Amino acid sequence: MSITQVAVVQMTSTPDVAANLNAAEQLVERAALAGARLVVLPEGFAFLGPDGGQRVHAESLPLAPGAESGPILARCQGWARRLGVELVLGGFWERAPDTAEHRGRVFNACVHLASDGTVKSVYRKIHLFDVDLADGTSLKESNGVAPGGQTVVSDAPFGKLGLSICYDVRFPELYRQLVDKGAIALAVPAAFTLHTGKDHWHILLQARSIESQSYVLAAAQTGNHYGARMSYGHALIADPWGCVIAQCGEGPGVALGSIDTELVERIRNQLPSLKHRRL
């Protein structure tokens, strides 16, 4: 079959890890019961709090044989196994190597779990959100997060899935590389600020889907997290023509949609812009 049901999650994470994981589990379960075979969680799903907290809750990923999972990852692996779904952990705080280069920082990692809980792929966020916005929001992600350096495409139930995180969406060259590696869908889990999201969220995501002729799976944070930190929400799924086919409303929730590989092929054949590139 060419059609695969997928879901993106919208939640309001806070500094309370236990409460965040309980909320995430309920939403993943809702998506799985509705038929989703792959579920994308937003950036910072397990912890979204002041700088410094990421390092406290960061875990090493069990990439080596015999390596054990930390409590957050183990909980997520249990969901995958129990529900029989693949999970994209949109922003997982991964412990970075203890080197002078990383200076005690962590990675903001997008982790793709198989339905048996094993780690299939890991992407580490390349573009870090260092901004001073007009509404007074000042964020310097690089204070606590080290940048990654590799683009990553993973094998999903429907085919190739390109991995990215939030601020990456402003850099189309990243998605060109993902498509060149075979991606037909792009994961963009995010915690987009309210100030930027109201003007840019939909436009950027639809532009990435149109120019990449790929599905976009954009999980999102929404509402107030701590202090004045607010996220825009509107988790969505866009098809390779740029149409939004599923979207969350206000508050936590799940948006469900279908990936049709034949539609991707048809659009790319009828309007072969990816083949017409000259630069």
- Give pLDDT, residue 74: 96
125 is catalytic: yes
* CATH number of the domain where residue 226 is located: 3.60.110.10
86 is catalytic: no
Calculate helix-pair angle for 194-212, 172-180, nearest 10 degrees: 30
275 in a structural domain: no
Query: Which residue is catalytic, options 59, 125, 141, 248?
Result: 125
Looking at the structure of the chain, the number of domains it has is 1
Average pLDDT by stretches of 10, the chain with 279 residues: 92 98 98 98 96 90 81 97 98 86 88 96 95 80 92 98 98 98 98 95 98 98 94 98 95 98 97 95
Query: Which residue is catalytic, options 76, 110, 166, 248?
Result: 166
- Predicted TM-score of the model (pTM): 0.96
pLDDT digits (tens, 9 = 90+) for 240-276: 999 999 999 889 999 999 999 999 999 999 999 999 9
Beta strands in 169-251 (DSSP E): 185-187, 215-218, 220-226, 229-232, 236-238, 244-247
89 in a structural domain: yes
277 in a structural domain: no
- Give pLDDT, residue 51: 83
Calculate helix-pair angle for 71-83, 17-33, nearest 10 degrees: 20
279 in a structural domain: no
- Give pLDDT, residue 135: 77
278 in a structural domain: no
How are beta strands 185-187 and 215-218 bridged, if at all? Answer: parallel
- Give pLDDT, residue 6: 98
**Is 24 strand, coil or helix?**
helix
pLDDT digits (tens, 9 = 90+) for 115-155: 999 999 999 999 998 888 787 777 888 889 999 999 999 99
43 is catalytic: yes
Q: Which domain holds residue 108?
A: 3-270
- Give pLDDT, residue 162: 98
The tokens of 204 are what?
A: 């950027």
Phi–psi pair at 146, nearest 5 degrees? -90, 140
Q: Residue with structure tokens 């799903």?
A: 45
- Give pLDDT, residue 169: 98
How are beta strands 229-232 and 215-218 bridged, if at all? Answer: unpaired
How are beta strands 159-163 and 220-226 bridged, if at all? Answer: unpaired
Query: Which residue is catalytic, options 43, 86, 94, 141?
Result: 43
- Give pLDDT, residue 269: 98
Residues 54 and 239: their CA atoms lie apart, in Å, by 33
Instruction: Mark out the alpha helices in 39-168 (DSSP H runs).
Output: 53-57, 71-83
228 in a structural domain: yes
Beta carbons within 8 Å of 14's beta carbon, 6+ residues apart: 20, 48, 49, 225, 226
222 in a structural domain: yes
Average pLDDT, the chain: 94
9 in a structural domain: yes
The tokens of 17 are what?
A: 């890890």
Residues 65 and 60: their CA atoms lie apart, in Å, by 13
Residue 204 CB-half CA count within 13 A:
21
CB-neighbour burial class of residue 248 (10 A; exposed 0-12, middle 13-18, buried 19+): buried
